[in-house]
Amino acid sequence: MYHIKQYSFLALGTFIIAVCFNLLQSPNQIASGGLTGASLVLGDVFHISSAIILWAATLVLLIGGSCFLGIHTILKNIIGSLLIPFFVYATKELPPLTHDPLLAAIYGGLGVGLGLAVVFRAEGNTGGFTLIAQILHQKKAIKHSTSIMVMDAVVMIAGGIVFSPEKALYALIGAFVTRMTMDYMVRVQNQNSKVAYIISSLEFEKQISESILTELDRGLTKLSGSGGYTNNERTVMVTVLDSSKITKLRSLIREIDPQAFIILCEATEVFGEGFTHPVPAPEQKLISSSAI
């Protein structure tokens, strides 16, 4: 039942993304990044349907990813990767909702952000640039967020060259709305930060801690402990992270040590580097608001 719910959310999220692409972004030439945005630009250059380019690019990335990342990693990406081009192809004949590029950028970004939030809730992803980012991280130790940001920027710049600079500015608005929508949806689903206690055996300690530091970009504290029944020495790792990263934390630890014990607790407020800081005085707020 749990997996059926996951796949249902994954299908719903990818369907929303595809419909927003065909109804809003594609007819108004809004290339807001991602593989869909790249297919829009390439489709105009080579006079080929964006759906066909998406299919071809997806298959190439899946084959290339299996060579660099292994079949196990690709299997977790394959469903979302294939659903996007499938739904884009299935809905390509739908009439556009608007020919106003500003409305298309805003509502397209809103819809894509909503779709991505639904996909991430299902513990899935849409492949595409994510696969390229994973390969670059493994081979060149480049952070996922950095490589995806650069690739999205290249797509928007290319859109500005192929279509018009004005369309690139609209695409930037769309990308901003997408990001804000995703952040809002995550905050609605998970209001607070989480404290994670990870109890694992000594042989997996280094691999788990490195994954948290590099993959999640979070710090952690190690505590010494022992099993109450076995008296075997154990490592307890404590980390505080945003709720949006809990799903990825679970996946990382399951891959490394399926027997690891994880305790998650609510952290209603967290102060310090990487998190919120104490609320400033009213005078400071006023200065900040006027400066914006």
Query: Which domain CATH number covers 229?
Result: 3.30.70.120
pLDDT tens, residue by residue, 138-157: 888 888 778 888 999 999 99
pLDDT score, position 277 = 45
pLDDT score, position 291 = 37
**Domain finish residue from 170, 189, 208:** 189
Q: Are residues 126 and 160 in the same domain?
A: yes
Q: Are residues 242 and 169 in the same domain?
A: no
pLDDT tens, residue by residue, 212-259: 888 887 888 888 877 777 777 777 889 988 776 888 888 888 889 888
Q: Are residues 50 and 125 in the same domain?
A: yes
The confidence band for 106, taking pLDDT boundaries of 50, 70 and 90, is very high
3-state DSSP call for residue 3? helix
Assess whether pLDDT exceeds 70 at residue 292.
Answer: no
Residue of 9 and 101 predicted with greater confidence: 101
d(CA 76, CA 57): 18
Flag whether 287 is in a domain.
Answer: no
pLDDT score, position 275 = 55
Flag whether 273 is in a domain.
Answer: no
Flag whether 26 is in a domain.
Answer: yes
Q: Are residues 175 and 199 in the same domain?
A: no
Q: Are residues 182 and 199 in the same domain?
A: no
Q: Are residues 158 and 197 in the same domain?
A: no
pTM over 0.85: no
Assess whether pLDDT exceeds 60 at residue 80.
Answer: yes
The DSSP annotation for 225-263 comes to EE-TTT--EEEEEEEEE-GGGHHHHHHHHHHH-TT-EEE
Q: Are residues 98 and 173 in the same domain?
A: yes
Flag whether 123 is in a domain.
Answer: yes
The confidence band for 206, taking pLDDT boundaries of 50, 70 and 90, is confident
List CB contacts of 20: < 8 A, sequence separation 6 or more: 107, 108, 111, 112, 115
The confidence band for 288, taking pLDDT boundaries of 50, 70 and 90, is very low
4-15: average pLDDT: 88
Flag whether 278 is in a domain.
Answer: no
Q: Are residues 24 and 70 in the same domain?
A: yes
Query: What is the residue range of 254's domain?
Result: 193-267
Nearest to 17 by CA among 41, 37, 45, 44: 37
pLDDT score, position 160 = 96
As beta bridge partners, residue 75 has none
**Mean pLDDT over the full length of the chain:** 83
Distances (CA, A) of 20 to 34, 106, 181: 14, 11, 14
**Domain finish residue from 189, 212, 239:** 189
Q: Are residues 98 and 226 in the same domain?
A: no
Q: Are residues 157 and 43 in the same domain?
A: yes
- Please count the structural domains in the chain: 2
Q: Are residues 262 and 150 in the same domain?
A: no
Q: Are residues 85 and 160 in the same domain?
A: yes
